Amino acid sequence: MPNSQANRVDLIIGGAGFAGLALAIALRQALGERFAITVADPALAQTPSKDPRSTAIAAAARRLFEAIGVWDAVADGAQPILDMVVTDSKLDDAVRPTFLTFGGDVEEGEPFAHMIENRHLIDALVACAKDAGIDLRATAVASFDTAPNSVTALLADGSEIKARLLVGADGARSAIREHAGIAFHGWSYNQSGIVTTVAHERPHHGCAEEHFLPAGPFAILPLTGNRVSIVWTEASHEADRIVALPDEEFHAELEKRFGLHLGDIKVVGPRRAFPLGLYTARSFIGERLALIGDAAHVIHPIAGQGLNMGLRDVAALAEAIADAARLGLDIGGLQVLERYQRWRRFDTMTMGVATDGLNKLFSNHSDVLRLARDVGLGMVERVPALKRVFIREAAGITGDVPKLMRGEMV
Amino acid sequence: MNIAGNSIDRGEVERFGRMAARWWDERGPMAPLHKLNPVRVGYIRDQVAAHFGRDPLTLGSLADLRILDIGCGAGILSEPLARLGATMVGVDPAEENIAVARAHADEQDLTIDYRATTAEAVAEGGETFDVVLAMEVVEHVVNVEEFVATCASMVKPGGLMIAATLNRTLKSFALAIVGAEYVLRWLPRGTHQWDKFVTPRELERAIEATGLDVIGERGVIFNPLADRWQLSSDMDVNYMLVARKEGQHAVPENAVGISE
């Protein structure tokens, strides 16, 4: 009988995405070698990572990566967003009036966000986790059993690991969440985001653009060199049709929306459509279980806040666990879990509702709504203090911010 | 399974296991004590770390310190301190508490020397400790002066005594009458009698009469909005107090292999 003697660790994390790896590294740094952590994810077999997507890293998220020591490894490949332009237009408008621009510094010399390619960040996190002595397993958490004082994770490769706490960081379709029987409530927008990487002729000067087209937001996000990542919202059936188009026709559809301001453009990455929705787990915690990142909540990418929210989970949970461990208390106990849940749930709901409202406001053909949002954006543009609040909110540094998100160690 | 030579009766273990689940159930009858625990463990850890020159944020902050937990119950305080590296001795006169404590520590892979005995008996045996804890017990003893003297006699030179108890004030009287949940209800009704509560002044006098110096005191209040206990300057109801014994303290540099 293999593995009748389960491996014993303090913490097992199912999922080696940004959230899972960042949590493991932060805790290992805070608590040292006496604190044993296992991270399990089949994606760990794939090094270097082949994830074609790019992600906006808000200032607070960057501070977390700095605090855990992985930012230096990816800084060269990160493109600061130095400026942001928001327009509101119909597809065939010759000129898109600009209603909002952001000079994008949170503090002097600190851009409110960077764009980074996922694979760079994942590779840096994996390397850092290895250096820190975290046990990485290229297999999934298939299921788990909870006992009064421990949780035993059963891995897909047949091994068992016993821990005080299990963290579900295995994404929007979390198997761990499902196994725990925690419902995932929300709705699909019947919209999908078409994502790809585009090379262009003229430099973008670090300027991000968000065009509120009738079908939904079309975002152009600068990467290093003359490249941008695009997130292009369409009704789901339309998105699927566009993604399946032959290259030339896809290019034509893209150009119609992208415009010509950066010169000639060329698609240089794979194109994929991701369905958009707003979902939140009925609870972020269970018996000896905490959910973080997309396993706990999925929001509309309109404001680029998805990763930022996931990292806020990481920062809050890391702090709750570290505080308890340093008191010799049970890190999988009710008090740790409730502290985490109290800390994160309200914030998550607020952000979810805000981005939902934003999306409904902007994904609309009504001229009345269009006038209203233009007046609103115009006002934000004219009142510097209000704009500053928006920038700080987008950067994720408002509210009761956990230490890691302030760039401090837990 | 090899049980040869094991004197533990399985039936007993299971019975105590079930009771341990009650004691240790964070939603059970001891919930208020579990909620209080982080604050008092934090106070103890910080006072002890500061006194003995340790980093309170490392996982082994209490390594090699010998600590006595008087009135340890099922070990809600002893276990976290043991996890921080302390060599724990827990005493409680109630046999069943000790059995529950042993069963639970065993499950946690913690080594704690639990004894069904009294502080007086330990003192008579001549044992001494780096830290002597009298948390939530002073209000139960018949004679505060004698009890404090017993505790103080077990503190090594340069060591600490830390006590937590309830103040005898109008506020605590009012709370006792209404049986306010997070103040007095974590033990069976009747366990706490308001007229046995001890004021900080009385406790200080008793401690200083033994030659120890009181070096710090802190109130503990319940914040119902945050649903947790916190340290406070308000000592009207719950408070903690730390005292030091004169002398040169010698912590073994390496506890392994030391024999007396």
Q: Could you report the per-residue pLDDT of B75-98, keeping only the tens digit for each?
A: 999 999 999 999 999 999 888 889
A183 touches chain B (CB under 8 A): no
Nearest-CB residue to A328 (from B26, B34, B81): B81
Nearest CA distance, B145 vs chain A (angstrom): 31
Pairwise CB contact (< 8 Å): A329 & B80 = yes
Q: Which residues of chain B make contact with A148, given a CB cutoff of 8 A? A: 21, 24
Return the pLDDT at A332.
96
Nearest CA distance, A307 vs chain B (angstrom): 28
Please compute the mean of the pLDDT values over residues B129-151 and round it to a whole number: 92
Nearest CA distance, A329 vs chain B (angstrom): 5
B17 touches chain A (CB under 8 A): no
Does pLDDT of A351 surpass 90? no
A329 touches chain B (CB under 8 A): yes
- B178-187, B196-205, B237-246, range with the lowest pLDDT: B178-187
Please compute the mean of the pLDDT values over residues A15-27 and round it to a whole number: 97
Separation CA A348–CA A309 (nearest Å): 7
- More confidently predicted of A38 and A359: A38
Does pLDDT of B185 surpass 80? no
- Give SS3 for A403: helix
Does pLDDT of A354 surpass 70? no
- Give SS3 for B232: strand
B79 touches chain A (CB under 8 A): yes
Mean pLDDT, chain B, as a whole number?
83
Does pLDDT of A262 surpass 70? yes
Return the pLDDT at B258.
36
Asked if A199 and A227 count as a contact pair (C-beta separation under 8 A), the reply is yes
Question: Can you give the C-alpha Rg of chain A in angstroms?
Answer: 22
pLDDT in tens, A282-323: 899 999 999 999 999 987 666 566 788 899 899 999 999 999
Return the pLDDT at B133.
98
Nearest-CB residue to B41 (from A34, A328, A333): A328
The complex's ipTM works out to 0.85
pLDDT in tens, A375-410: 555 555 555 555 555 555 555 555 567 788 777 877
Does pLDDT of B48 surpass 70? yes
Residue in chain A nearest B83 by alpha carbon? A328
Pairwise CB contact (< 8 Å): B21 & A326 = no
Return the pLDDT at A92.
63
Return the pLDDT at B22.
79
- Give SS3 for A281: strand
- The model's confidence at residue B3, banded by pLDDT at 50, 70 and 90, is very low
Mean pLDDT, chain A, as a whole number?
85
Does pLDDT of A349 surpass 90? no
Name the DSSP class of A149.
S
Asked if B148 and B207 count as a contact pair (C-beta separation under 8 A), the reply is yes
B24 touches chain A (CB under 8 A): yes
Return the pLDDT at A2.
43
Nearest CA distance, B196 vs chain A (angstrom): 31
The percentage of chain A sitting over the pLDDT mark of 70, rounded to a whole number, equals: 79
Does pLDDT of B255 surpass 50? no
- Test the B interface: residue of A11, A27, A288, A326 with most B CBs within 10 Å: A326
Please compute the mean of the pLDDT values over residues B119-143 and round it to a whole number: 92
Task: Kindly tell me the sign of the dihedral angle through the C-alpha atoms of A9, A10, A13, A16.
Answer: negative
Return the pLDDT at B254.
41
Q: Which residues of chain A make contact with B45, given a CB cutoff of 8 A? A: 326-328
Please compute the mean of the pLDDT values over residues B56-71 and round it to a whole number: 95
- A134-138, A262-266, A348-352, range with the lowest pLDDT: A348-352
Please compute the mean of the pLDDT values over residues B224-248 and round it to a whole number: 88
Pairwise CB contact (< 8 Å): B26 & A335 = yes
Please compute the mean of the pLDDT values over residues A212-221 and round it to a whole number: 88
Please compute the mean of the pLDDT values over residues A320-327 and round it to a whole number: 97
Please compute the mean of the pLDDT values over residues A36-59 and round it to a whole number: 91
Nearest CA distance, B38 vs chain A (angstrom): 7
Nearest CA distance, B47 vs chain A (angstrom): 13
B237 touches chain A (CB under 8 A): no
Does pLDDT of B245 surpass 50? yes
Q: What is the largest CA-CA distance in chain B?
A: 59
Pairwise CB contact (< 8 Å): A328 & B82 = yes
Q: Which residues of chain A make contact with B60, given a CB cutoff of 8 A? A: 34
Nearest CA distance, B143 vs chain A (angstrom): 32
Residue in chain A nearest B86 by alpha carbon? A328
Pairwise CB contact (< 8 Å): A149 & B38 = no
Return the pLDDT at A343.
85
Nearest CA distance, A360 vs chain B (angstrom): 35
Pairwise CB contact (< 8 Å): A334 & B27 = yes
Separation CA A176–CA A173 (nearest Å): 9
Pairwise CB contact (< 8 Å): A328 & B79 = yes
Pairwise CB contact (< 8 Å): B60 & A34 = yes
Q: List Cβ neighbours of A95 (8 Å cut-off, separation of 6 or more).
A: none
Return the pLDDT at A229.
94
Asked if A161 and A155 count as a contact pair (C-beta separation under 8 A), the reply is yes
Q: Which residues of chain A make contact with B81, given a CB cutoff of 8 A? A: 328
Return the pLDDT at A1.
39
Please compute the mean of the pLDDT values over residues B169-193 and round it to a whole number: 61
Return the pLDDT at A375.
53
Return the pLDDT at A47.
83
Return the pLDDT at A65.
94
Nearest-CB residue to A32 (from B27, B41, B58): B58
